[in-house]
Structure 1
Amino acid sequence: MTVMMMMTNNSCQNMAELRVYQHLVYAIVYTIILVPGLLANLLALWVFKVYIRETKKAVVFMMNLAMADLMQVLSLPLRIYYYLNNSWPFGHALCLICFYLKYVNMYASIYFLVCVSIRRCELIMRPLRYKGSKLKVDLIICTLGWLFVCLGCLVFPLLRNIKHNDALVTSQVGNTSPEVNICFSELPMQKINGSTAWVILILGELLGFIVPLILVLACTCLTAESLRKQSSSTIPDQGEKRRALRMVLSCTVVFLVCFGPYHISMPLDFLAKANTLSSCTLKDWIQRCHPFALFLASLNCSLDPIMYYFTTYEFRRRLSKPEIPDLMSSGR
């Protein structure tokens, strides 16, 4: 125990050791996510494009969710390169863009998971209201959602937008100590006072996690309750209700598994990087655990396609053998 405490306290002073550890974890987890996430989301977009006009069951929202996941996956090669080579040679502007897109894609995924849950719940609770085509309405909701997310996430690159000369560190990896360009979470943070930091954290947690979580849980409870009731105002098909419940439950599970740990560790990591924590032990522990929470958040782009397959009948039908030739001809 004494040795462990000494190692923890030393790591607070020796940031190079922590940096090597984080780079190794990030390189491994992003490599694991890259290929399955890329293939699965390309396949999902291919399927959704074909039957987008055949069903009203939140397909537009799932298509935008797949687009957000695909954008996140496409940014992973640059991240893997950085964490393997410990240097960013692509310029400060591209670094900020990749850093910004990470948060845009994550919170867009959260937004569209909520939209999928609400729409499936509404289709069960009030099916007559959505008897007609709602494609234009869904497109407007998606556009407003992207706009809201893009504007809200601007705070992340703005807090890190410091002059290029200030974004240099001395690397102590191995026996050399060259000056290298840093990127992503290692970018220096703008100096802000404590009250401003807390306002940013509270708003981010409320709008980005707590309110969406409440909506997803509410949809889950309402859908489960409708399964037990027999009413002329709801869909009489119990099989349809069960499929809707599986979809909403899947959204809840993905939401909690992927984004719950991240939004617990994110404010702590923010405080640690802002040097507002006095305990070296606590600061070091937070920065060693945060990469795994970020891994779970990134894993969302691989879990969503699994959710499409097991909870959406049309998705499975399109991937069945009799439907593949039709799908290919429609694509041509």
Structure 2
Amino acid sequence: MLNGTFKNGTEEDMRNMGYSLAFGSVMTVGLPLNAASLWILLSCHSLKSPSAIFMVNLAISDLLLIITLPMRVYFYATGAWPLGSMACICITMLFRNNIRSSSIFITFISADRLLAVVYPLRLRHLRTASNTWKAVALTWLFVVVVNIPESVDFSRFLNNYNESTCFEFRPWHHQTPILAYVQPVLVLAMLAVNIVSTALVSLTLRRHLNDSARVKNKVNVMLIFAMNLIMFAVFFLPVSLAVLFKRWVPSLTPLICLASLNCCLDPLLYYFSFDGFWRRKEDVDTSVAGVVG
């Protein structure tokens, strides 16, 4: 029995060290990449472009996740939670918010490309800075509103446990049915929109395949859609579906590690979205029009 206990303890320590290294790596890579991307987007691109506005908010969403990772690293490295239950709730909510806000902003980017490529003139009036900021405001409002009942639900059960179990406590396993379905339904709906957008844009670009002057732009556009689908399939969908099949999922931590990696790949989305990613504002306006047109 002692040997079994020692073995289980060793395996758990190794697993926790792996989680600590994984979150630490995401933080080390994601922080400079997203901070630099946000600086470039704000300094080199006009926030009158819908894509630039969505990407700025996507970078902010990733940075909000990244600033919580040091506490996850500390928790899994030491096995102790030095802060109270409220801090645990806030950090957990920021992780969920990243998946939700990122999935929505990525979908908005796909929809913007769809309008620009498939309906460049007919629906041009929808691609305005004013409409974009309204969509951004509604997204953050939705995220905050959903957090309120979730935080109350999480706090109710967390108070019955030792605070040292913060990130190993599985709040999704105790959520009310309505709250448990919010994230899976949202991610699946956003994925469906991305799939439809990808198909429509691909069909439109194939019709003009012989336009050699715009081949590079077409490749960039399709890379954006491919990356968006990868984001959902690899990072957002597994952890979201685990909520639906919680009885068969012993721990969400490996999927949370996987989902947190999305913030390291989002900067690639910014790069392929603009031919003139490194150029100044006055040079970018024309190149952006060429890429999305």
Do the two structures share a fold, i.e. TM-score over 0.5? Answer: yes
Report how far residue 40 of structure 1 moved: 0.3
1:103-138 CA distance string (max 9 Å, x none): 112211111010111101111112224379711211
How many angstroms apart in 1 are the aligned matches of 2:157 and 2:241? 30
Partner of residue 210, structure 1: 188
How many angstroms apart in 1 are the aligned matches of 2:21 and 2:224? 30
SS at match of 1:181: helix
Q: Amino acid of the residue matched to residue 261 of structure 1?
A: P
Partner of residue 250, structure 1: 227
Q: Amino acid of the residue matched to residue 204 of structure 1?
A: Q
How many angstroms apart in 2 are the aligned matches of 1:239 and 1:190? 47
How many angstroms apart in 1 are the aligned matches of 2:37 and 2:84? 33
How many angstroms apart in 1 are the aligned matches of 2:94 and 2:199? 33
SS at match of 1:161: helix
Whether the 8 Å contact between 2:173 and 2:243 is mirrored in structure 1 is no
Map 1:187-198 → 2, pairs under 5 A: 196-197=176-177
Distance 1:54 1:92, change over 3 A: closer
Report how far residue 265 of structure 1 moved: 2.5
Partner of residue 136, structure 1: 130
How many angstroms apart in 2 are the aligned matches of 1:56 and 1:133? 8
Whether the 8 Å contact between 2:270 and 2:277 is mirrored in structure 1 is yes
Unmatched tracts of structure 2, length 5 or more: 285-293
Map 1:1-332 → 2, pairs under 5 A: 20=13, 22-53=15-46, 56=49, 58-128=51-121, 129-130=123-124, 134-162=128-156, 166-168=160-162, 181-186=164-169, 196-197=176-177, 199-207=178-186, 209-230=187-208, 237-268=214-245, 270-271=246-247, 286-287=249-250, 290-317=252-279
1:284-319 CA distance string (max 9 Å, x none): xx325x33322221000001012222443122546x
SS at match of 1:314: coil
Whether the 8 Å contact between 1:72 and 1:102 is mirrored in structure 2 is yes
SS at match of 2:49: coil
Q: Amino acid of the residue matched to residue 200 of structure 2?
A: L
Aligned length, in residue pairs = 275
How many angstroms apart in 2 are the aligned matches of 1:263 and 1:34? 22
Report how far residue 152 of structure 1 moved: 2.1
How many angstroms apart in 1 are the aligned matches of 2:144 and 2:86? 17
TM-score using structure 2 length: 0.81
How many angstroms apart in 2 are the aligned matches of 1:250 and 1:156? 30
Whether the 8 Å contact between 1:57 and 1:123 is mirrored in structure 2 is no
Partner of residue 174, structure 1: none
Whether the 8 Å contact between 1:227 and 1:242 is mirrored in structure 2 is no
How many angstroms apart in 1 are the aligned matches of 2:81 and 2:160? 14
How many angstroms apart in 1 are the aligned matches of 2:159 and 2:254? 30
SS at match of 2:55: helix
Whether the 8 Å contact between 2:55 and 2:105 is mirrored in structure 1 is yes
Distance 1:310 1:130, change over 3 A: same
Whether the 8 Å contact between 1:24 and 1:84 is mirrored in structure 2 is yes
Distance 1:243 1:160, change over 3 A: same
Q: Amino acid of the residue matched to residue 153 of structure 2?
A: L
Distance 1:188 1:38, change over 3 A: closer
How many angstroms apart in 2 are the aligned matches of 1:91 and 1:187? 17
TM-score using structure 1 length: 0.72
Distance 1:189 1:146, change over 3 A: closer
> Rg: which structure is higher?
1
Distance 1:293 1:132, change over 3 A: closer
Q: Identify the structure with the greater helix proportion.
A: 2
